[in-house]
Amino acid sequence: MLVNAFVARPFAVPSASMENTLRPGDRLVVNQLAYAFGGHVRRGEVVVFDGTGSFLPYAEETPAVRRFLSAVGLGSGNGSVYVKRVVGIGGDRVTCCGADGRLKVNGVPLDESAYLYPGDAPSAVRFDVVVPAGKLWVMGDHRSDSRDSRDHLGEPGGGFVPEKRVIGRADWVVFPIGRWTSLDRPVSFAAVEGMGGHGGQR
Query: Which residues belong to the active site?
Result: 17, 84
Q: Is the dihedral of CA 23, 46, 44, 97 positive or negative?
A: positive
Nearest by Cα to 127 from 147, 103, 146: 103
Residue type, 68: F
Residue type, 167: I
Measured in Å, how far apart are the chain's first and last C-alpha atoms?
28
Phi, psi of 33 (to 5 degrees): -100, 0
Query: How much is the CA Rg of the chain, to the nearest whole Å?
Result: 16
Residue 166, strand partner residues: 49
CA distance 180 to 84: 19
Q: Are the C-beta atoms of 97 and 174 separated by less than 8 Å?
A: no
Q: Are the C-beta atoms of 32 and 10 separated by less than 8 Å?
A: no
